[in-house]
Amino acid sequence: MIDEVRSRLDRAIEEKVFPGCAVGIVDGNKKSPAWGVIARGHLTYSTKSPPVTVDTPYDIASLTKVFTSMVLLTCVEQGKISLDDQIVKFLPEFGVRWSQKRSVRIRHLLTFTLNLDIPSLKTLKEKTPEEVIHIIMDAPLLGSLGENVQLVNATAMLMGLIFEQIYPPRKLNTAMHELFFDPLGMKSTTFRPLSLFKKEVIAPTELCPWRNRLLQGEVHDESTSVFGERYLGASGLFSTAFDLSKFVHMLLHEGTSNGKNYFSPDTVRSLSENQKRGLREKTSYGWRIALRRYMGRTCSEKTIGGAGFTGTSIVIDMERRVGIILLSNRVHPHRPKNSDAINAVRRDVADIVFRHIDKQS
């Protein structure tokens, strides 16, 4: 299996899907944390650049939303909020202009089924943080509530804003460290990579035309960069395949790791259960379900996952009890026209792993 995965990654590097990547494979059947990480290629397309290692930090982009959702889900477990709480309970200004928005509930945020009639937040990169928040609060609903799954920054930012209201003056980034990163030993997962790593060892992303520089250790997402060090959870986390494997292992063990409970087994089971029936795509709390375009052609109906624009993804087949983390910088030096090539790699790697698991069973 490992050789087959390496071969697929090497082909992707030759095809310039990305200059390098790291893949973590987590075996959920192991009682103690056990995983393997495969590193291939270099940080850039120059072979003189540093090689990718198991400890190479990547900008994980929208995978940040998974952790934001998990923080809010922890608040639900603790009884601080309810899935049926209205958003206006915490953010009254959200429903001032449009009365229909008073029907929006926490579950709409966690399932990413809130659709607001606003432009992509990356087009608002010249705005101030206050202006961006005002635009989100002031926007009307687009269509009927809960009719589409949209993994957008505005929804994640609302989660971050609500968390700030529940636990003032505690911040979302601090909560992530206290709840997950520190106890799980995820020492390389951070919103501030340059405080932990030398710039030269971080995988660079895009040669950004807006900021007129190569982004290395600096968040790629434009709307997140507007907020500076106020972390609202849409993007901005940096991590390694080795670190993320620890979080995946915990979920594969019903929310427990090294004797510590992070989530109840019922909550973990709910992550692979479709929470919004009747939609084209299945969704749970912070995760997509059985999205075969990148989770593998043969993934089970109990497969959950998330993906980041920079070329990152997590896929966890709860039925097979295996997790796959793929970190790359496919936007280097310039973003491709679409996600077809990176999705093909994600899909193929997942299928290789699933085929190996099936042969063993």
Mean pLDDT over all residues of the chain? 96
CATH number of 67-173: 1.20.58
Residue 361 pLDDT exceeds 80: no
Mean pLDDT of 136-159: 95
The structure tokens 């900021």 sit at 211
pLDDT given at position 35: 63
Residue 32 pLDDT exceeds 70: no
Mean pLDDT of 244-250: 96
Mean pLDDT of 133-141: 97
Burial degree of 270 (CB within 10 A; 0-12, 13-18, 19+): middle
Mean pLDDT of 181-209: 97
124, 135 Cβ separation under 8 angstroms: yes
pLDDT given at position 41: 98
Q: Is the pTM of this model over 0.85?
A: yes
Residue 83 pLDDT exceeds 80: yes
| Portion of the chain with pLDDT greater than 70, in percent | 99
Any idea which of 63-67, 147-151, 232-236, 285-289 has the lowest mean pLDDT?
Answer: 147-151
Q: How far is CA 255 from CA 68, 76, 128, 172, 318, in A?
A: 16, 15, 38, 20, 12
34: CB partners within 8 A, 6+ apart? 26, 27, 249
For the chain, what are the domain ranges? 2-64+185-360, 67-173
Mean pLDDT of 17-39: 86
Give residue-wise pLDDT tens across range 157-176.
999 999 999 988 889 999 99
Residue 33 pLDDT exceeds 60: no
91, 161 Cβ separation under 8 angstroms: yes
The structure tokens 């050789």 sit at 3
Q: Are strands 256-257 and 260-261 parallel, antiparallel or unpaired?
A: antiparallel
CATH topology of domain 2-64+185-360: Beta-lactamase (3.40.710)
Residue 77 pLDDT exceeds 90: yes
Q: Are strands 288-289 and 260-261 parallel, antiparallel or unpaired?
A: unpaired
Give residue-wise pLDDT tens across range 341-355.
999 999 999 999 999
